[in-house]
Amino acid sequence: MVGASRKWRSVAVVAAGLAAGCTLAGSREAEFVRANIATISGVKSVEASCASGWLSAKSDVCVTVAMTAGKELRFIGVGYHSFDAAPSRVRLTAAGGRSPLVVSCESQSGFADLDRSGLFGHHFSPAIEAVPEAILRSGDVVEELEFWPQCPQFWELASEQGTTYRYCAHASAKPAEVPPRPCS
């Protein structure tokens, strides 16, 4: 009976994904992500769905994670490769009601990258390497974002490769104001 229940739950998840515009593979990946994140300590609930298709990341799943402490994290570009030592380009879109924005001269403005060498990972010690680490350290993530200046003010920093980035965070309820590009 338990096996039959699990089978029907999987069918329901796949059907819900197809109704929301996911492919069968996308629905499976969203369920894989949801199941993996649900096992992390301190997670209250997880919503996973297919992204709209505008992401350039290999993984195209959006995730909203509600923590038992009352905080909420949102990610885009999450998938199979987000749970190992070399995660795909996962981006944090919101934490604790703030959304980080990063802009450089070379790229369009976007959300904070959680890669170890990414635009957001270097702020943490140890650096964030994957979604589970970000979730386990959600308090640090939210606290760090609270110190980012409100857009359109910004902080500026240069990467080890010499690229200059400007970054700020806006309240999720407010429209995003992107800082000017740091082109010289």
How distant is the alpha carbon of residue 58 from its chain centre? 14
Are 46 and 59 in contact, with CB atoms under 8 Å apart? Answer: no
The one-letter amino acid at 78? V
Looking at the chain, the whole-number percentage of residues with pLDDT higher than 70 is 75
Residue 113: per-residue pLDDT: 81
Residue 74: per-residue pLDDT: 93
Residue 44: per-residue pLDDT: 97
Q: How large is the average pLDDT for residues 66-95? A: 85
Per-residue confidence band for 10, with pLDDT thresholds at 50, 70 and 90: very low
Are 82 and 88 in contact, with CB atoms under 8 Å apart? Answer: yes
Q: How large is the average pLDDT for residues 131-149? A: 88
Residue 144: per-residue pLDDT: 86
Average pLDDT value for the chain: 77
Residue predicted with more confidence, 24 or 135: 135
Residues in the chain: 184
Residue predicted with more confidence, 183 or 17: 183
- 175, with CB counted inside 10 A (0-12, 13-18, 19+), is exposed
Residue 54: per-residue pLDDT: 41
Q: Kindly report which listed range (23-32, 68-77, 116-125) carries the lowest average pLDDT score.
A: 116-125
* pLDDT over threshold 70, residue 115: yes
User: Could you give the 3-state DSSP secondary structure of residue 95?
Assistant: strand
Per-residue confidence band for 35, with pLDDT thresholds at 50, 70 and 90: very high
How far, in Å, CA of 181 to CA of 184, rounded?
A: 9
Residue 43: per-residue pLDDT: 96
